[in-house]
Amino acid sequence: MLRTNVDNWKSLQVAPIQIETFAISERNGDAVLGFPDDYARNQGLASLELKKDGVPVGVRRLDSIEINGAGIMKLDVEGHEAAALSGAESLLAEGRIRDILFEEHGSYPARSHKILLEHRYTVFRVTGSIWRPLLLPPEAPPRRTFLPPTYPPCYLATADPSRARARFASWGWSALTARLCRNEGAYKKTHPVPVKQSSDAISSVRSGEINSK
C-alpha cells in the first residue's frame, strides 16, 4: 500500500520520497514489532512497545540516518515517541528539523514533550473544528468532536512558532492534490524554509518505516 501511494504521489510534485524498511528507536540494533489484539481491524497499531505476538525488525536512531535538514517530520509510532525522539538528539539540538507532528498517548507534559521542550521547541496541541485545523496550547482539551474519542492527542513541536501560527490562521481544510502542491511551491518561493543545509527535505516516520529526502 505504501509503495503504491508513493508511486501515485510522484505526479503531485512533492519532495522525493525514499522508503526504508526499519523501525525508529533510541538505539541501533534489533527489536520486536508487536501486534495488539485488534490488529486485524487496524493494522496501523503495531508498536515496538508491545513485546509479544510480533515480528523481529531492525531499529535505528534517527541520528544514524543522513538527514541534513527537514521542514517537517511526521512521527506516528504508537507509544514509542519518546524513544524515537531520544534517538534524534543531534538533529534536535542542531535545529535540523523545523516542525515535528506527532501523537502522544500520555498526558501533557509527557516524556516526548519534555525532550522537545529541552531542545527549545514550542509545542502546540493540534486539533480541529468543522471549519479548519486549530493550534492550541499543549494542555488544552480537544475540540474535534466529529472524531472518535479514542483518537490520541496530536501535537506540533516547532522551531518557528510564528510561521506555524500563520499557516494555521487560514479558514478551511486542504487535501494533498496537484493544485495544492502548485500553490505550496509558490508559497515556498516567498517563504523559504529556515533549516540548515536543506530547504525542502521531508521526513515521515511510522511504525517500522521512515521516508526521507
Per-residue tens of pLDDT for the chain, all 213 residues = 778 888 887 777 777 788 888 999 999 999 988 887 777 777 777 788 887 778 898 999 999 998 888 899 999 888 899 999 999 999 999 999 999 999 998 889 999 999 999 999 999 999 887 888 889 999 988 765 555 556 778 999 999 999 999 999 888 877 655 555 555 554 444 444 443 333 333 333 333 333 333
Looking at residue 9, its pLDDT comes to 78
Q: What angle do CA 25, 43, 18 make, to 5 degrees?
A: 55
Domain CATH number, residue 33: 3.40.50
Q: What is the pLDDT of residue 41?
A: 75
Task: Report d(CA 76, CA 44) in Å as an integer.
Answer: 9
d(CA 3, CA 199): 25
| pLDDT number for residue 209 | 39
Q: Across the strands, what pairs with 124?
A: 156
Q: What is the DSSP letter of 47?
A: B
C-alpha grid cell, residue 44: 496501523
Q: Tell me, what's the pLDDT at 146?
A: 56
- Backbone Cα Rg of the chain: 17
Distances (CA, A) of 208 to 23, 61, 147, 153, 174: 4, 12, 26, 21, 28
The pLDDT score that the predictor gives to residue 212 is 38
Report how many domains make up the chain: 1
Angstrom distances, CA of residue 166 to CA of 137, 171, 202: 15, 11, 20
Structural domain containing residue 155: 2-212
DSSP letters for 83-105:
HHHHTTHHHHHTT-EEEEEEE--
Alpha helices in 28-160, H assignment, sequence order: 81-86, 89-93, 111-118
pLDDT the model gives residue 175: 65
Residue 150 pLDDT: 60
Task: Determine the pLDDT at residue 18.
Answer: 81
